A and B are shown apart, each in its own frame.
Chain A
């Protein structure tokens, strides 16, 4: 399987001999070791540091179907270079748009997406409940919201429930992470106010980019979404997909990192009015997140092992089938 490469150090990426050459710089601007990345082995690139590159490189990446995701200093996802669409399907495009413009059809999908997300969130809480954390009240509260979902008649209402479910879920965070130095009052973004919020923002962003990469390899149009409002200049379908996988990919990763003390308060930097991950923290996070994506589970219906990364793609296929009226979409629910 092709690999994802994460570029943290500032450096220059160039095309040489029909493959990729990466030269790292140090602070003084002196060139470090060069590495050749085999183009046939690169799935996508995540760029966190300063990267020098020219259009010849992007032409080359485009031809080889490698997308590049960019993140700014404050760890926000800033955008992607996406290779030319290689899987085009007019019929699906029309169906996807149709499902967006028709409110009843859109409601069905939006509801299912929230239902799937809520199920996976509850799964996380139940796991910790079985380990003696007091989260019973929150679980009951979240179940009430889920039960109310089928009665929602507008997208805004569904989004409201989604927000309520998450808010209730976040209330448990302090219970789940019992590590000194990490407190959680409420979810805050742009900028995150404390360490846990910084981790959540960083993780959600990685999850968003991972979903986008998988959508690219299907025939779905990443700009037309169902739960979130399709905005301009953003791939909102990736937000829809990320909703379902965040509890498994991001939250579980965070709990592991903190409870095993792999990330500690010293991996953060407090600045002006926010809190950010330092490079050491980012690298640790990315390493564990990557492991998580590669982790495999036994798929019941396919009867073989699949990785979490592949699960995202399978989710896209299910959505495609629903759009083409072949099989009703059932959101992914963690069964283990």
Chain B
């Protein structure tokens, strides 16, 4: 499964969310991540996210797609972090 994850957090919790997401997905810009992830790993990520966020104030939004091919990505301006695996 290919996902795009965005979150909106109160400032004091945003750092923890960032660190958590970095372990599972690729950071592309502030509060936005994308990447290939399995159902189980996503459930794990969301379970951990729930321990961080306060449901009445923060939110995490997921856009799911079956595969990467079905997603057309367009970058306008500077690409802050490419997803290349050849570094």
Name A's B-contacting residues (CB within 8 A).
1, 3-9, 11, 17-19, 22, 24, 33, 35-36, 38-41, 283, 286-287, 290
Contacts and interface: CB of A to CB of B under 8 A. Distances in A.
A8 B35 contact: no
A23 to B, nearest CB: 10
Contacts of A35: 81, 87
Contact of A41 (B19, B24, B81, B86): B24
Interface string B42-81: 0000000000000000000000000000000000000001
B11 interface: no
A287 B35 CA distance: 19
A290 B81 CA distance: 21
B12 interface: no
Closest 9 CB pairs of A and B: A17-B19, A19-B23, A36-B22, A6-B86, A40-B24, A19-B22, A5-B85, A7-B87, A38-B24
Contacts of A283: 86
Given A8-B87, A40-B23, 18 more contacts: A3-B36, A6-B86, A17-B19, A19-B19, A19-B22, A22-B87, A33-B81, A35-B81, A35-B87, A36-B22, A38-B24, A38-B25, A39-B23, A40-B37, A41-B24, A41-B25, A41-B37, A283-B86
15 contacts: A6-B85, A9-B87, A11-B87, A17-B22, A17-B23, A19-B22, A22-B87, A33-B81, A35-B81, A38-B22, A40-B24, A41-B24, A41-B25, A41-B26, A41-B37
Contacts of B25: 38, 41
A3 to B, nearest CB: 5
Nearest to A2: B36
Given A18-B19, A36-B22, A290 B85 contact: yes
Contact of A287 (B27, B37, B86, B87): B86
A192 to B, nearest CB: 23
Contacts of B26: 36, 38, 41
Interface in B3-31: 19, 22-27
A296 B36 CA distance: 18
A18 B45 CA distance: 14
Contacts of A286: 86
A18 B19 CA distance: 8
A5 B25 CA distance: 14
A4 B36 CA distance: 13
Nearest to B27: A36
A38 B35 contact: yes
Contacts of B19: 17-19
Nearest to A287: B86
A18 B20 CA distance: 9
A17 to B, nearest CB: 4
B81 to A, nearest CB: 6
Contacts of B87: 5-9, 11, 22, 24, 35
Q: Which of A8, A19, A24, A290: most chain B Cβ within 10 A? A: A19
Contact of B23 (A8, A11, A24, A38): A38
A52 to B, nearest CB: 14
Contacts of B24: 38, 40-41
